[in-house]
Amino acid sequence: MIRYHAAWILPISEPPIRDGWLAVDRGRVVAVGASGRRVLSDGAEEVDLGEVAVMPGLVNAHTHLELSYLRDAVPPASQFLTWIRGVMQARRERADPRGAEILDAIDGAITEAVACGTAIVGDISNTLVTFGPLTRSRLAAVVFYELIRFNTTDPKGVVAKAVSELDALHPTERVRASLAAHAPYSVAPLVLRAITQAVDRDPFAPCSIHLSESVEEMEFIRTGGGPWRAFLEEIGSWDPTWVAPGGTPVQFLDDCGFLNGRVLAVHGVQMTTADLDRLAARGATLVTCPRSNGHTGAGAPPIEDFYNYGVKVAVGTDSLASAPDLNIFAELATMRALAPTVSAGALLDSATRQGARALGFDADFGTIAPGKSGRLLAVSVPAGTEDVEEYLVGGIEPDQIRWIE
């Protein structure tokens, strides 16, 4: 057994402990307490970590590791569709046919995520190419096999094929796999229903979708027209039998039976207060990625509303095609700037416990408590720090972070 002493311990499930101690045995937390600078005489190894805050590993609840090779390749846009076109162009220009560039970038991104204090990722993949690299890493993960299919005559077949590919993956306890839908404007209603049915086979599996991200999405769902309609026609994916549902994307997904407590709804930039009420009622988790929203032209998410309406909030960076790095601490600093009235403790809760719960890893991660993983972060904090939570949402760099255990 090792007993660690630190200037601060953040259990997340309770207020920060000043001059705390933490006992870890065989990789598991066995006890947490205060007034820890004195040595207890039970023979345990004593390690003084000094001026650090010990906290759970962070959860990046939404990223796309397979797009890491597009880092810095897609310029910021003032309209979402301009950014989408930028991604398509960068993909055409960059990927080599053997995919070595893609695989190298995935490995580099995983290393970066760990160095930034990430313990768990919710990773969106269209190819499942990230599954192998994740199993060889120290990250825990849910790899979401994301389906994009607006126009199909065989929605059940599309989903059944994806399920059979997932079944061939051999998930582990630490790296799991599930299904996701890309977005309400890119997945046909019957495909959405088939995805929900497939995910329902496992009562604990999470699901995900990009939701209410851009004004183009809102217009398309409301009217069936606008830039997204023109784009679908342009790329040959328009379905002439599709009828605009009217209303908002949240209403539409709810009418499809898609929204429930296992859904990670990503972005929510354009959500109305009625949408937020509905999301809270369904128990879905909203994953906010504010730096990506700024880069893609989606706009600034109403983060204070997310919390004020009682929505469960988790945090993601989105991909390196729209975020400068995979540092969730940097995402928290942007959230703090956009949402000055939300408590720092609530923001930290989102980046740890809420993400772990939404991805189904809360038995091991997300808080510091007896029985949970002892693989925790020690973040350097200046001596004399009074409000450690506020300090931690102010932007932490990788050189301030190390892992214990």
The site for Zn ion, by CB under 5 A, has a size of: 1
The residue written with tokens 């004195």 in the block is 38
Q: Which residue type does 26 have?
A: R
Site string for Zn ion, 311-340 (x = CB under 5 A): -------x----------------------
| Nearest distance from C-beta of residue 90 to Zn ion, angstroms | 15
| Nearest distance from C-beta of residue 72 to Zn ion, angstroms | 17
List, edge to edge, every strand of the sheet that includes 175-181.
58-63, 118-125, 140-147, 175-181, 207-211, 263-267, 285-288, 312-315
Tokens found for residue 326? 């995979």
Radius of gyration for the chain, computed over Cα atoms and rounded to the nearest angstrom? 21
The pairing of strands 2-9 and 45-48 is: parallel
DSSP state string for 138-156 = S-EEEEEEEE-BSS-S-HH
Q: Which of 87, 141, 90, 73 is nearest to 113 (CA)?
A: 141
- From residue 85, give the alpha-carbon distance in Å to each of 15, 90, 104, 345: 46, 9, 24, 38
| Nearest distance from C-beta of residue 268 to Zn ion, angstroms | 12
| Nearest distance from C-beta of residue 83 to Zn ion, angstroms | 11
| Nearest distance from C-beta of residue 62 to Zn ion, angstroms | 6
Which one, 6 or 284, has the nearer CB to Zn ion? 284
Q: Would you give the DSSP letter of residue 375?
A: -
In 3-state terms, what secondary structure has residue 63? strand
| Nearest distance from C-beta of residue 116 to Zn ion, angstroms | 18
Tokens found for residue 213? 């991200």
Which one, 123 or 318, has the nearer CB to Zn ion? 318
Q: Any residues with CB less than 8 A from the CB of 283 and at least 6 apart, and which?
A: 260, 261, 312
Q: Which of residues 248-307 bind Zn ion (CB under 5 A)?
A: none
> Nearest residue to Zn ion, using CB?
318
Q: Would you give the DSSP letter of residue 243?
A: -
Which one, 199 or 289, has the nearer CB to Zn ion? 289
Measured from the Cβ of residue 153, the count of other Cβ atoms closer than 10 Å reads 9
Which one, 8 or 258, has the nearer CB to Zn ion? 258
Which one, 125 or 196, has the nearer CB to Zn ion? 125
Which one, 52 or 65, has the nearer CB to Zn ion? 65
| Nearest distance from C-beta of residue 80 to Zn ion, angstroms | 12
Q: Any residues with CB less than 8 A from the CB of 332 and at least 6 apart, and which?
A: 315, 347, 348, 351, 392, 393, 395
Which one, 318 or 364, has the nearer CB to Zn ion? 318
What is the C-alpha to C-alpha distance for residues 306 and 98, in angstroms, rounded to an integer?
Answer: 42
Which one, 198 or 298, has the nearer CB to Zn ion? 298
| Nearest distance from C-beta of residue 45 to Zn ion, angstroms | 43
Which one, 318 or 349, has the nearer CB to Zn ion? 318
- From residue 21, give the alpha-carbon distance in Å to each of 24, 35, 36, 345, 368: 10, 7, 5, 20, 11
Does 364 sit near Zn ion (CB under 5 A)? no
Find how far residue 59's CA is from the centre of its chain: 7
The residue written with tokens 């560039």 in the block is 101
| Nearest distance from C-beta of residue 66 to Zn ion, angstroms | 11
| Nearest distance from C-beta of residue 166 to Zn ion, angstroms | 19
Which one, 18 or 85, has the nearer CB to Zn ion? 85
Chain residues binding Zn ion by CB under 5 A are: 318
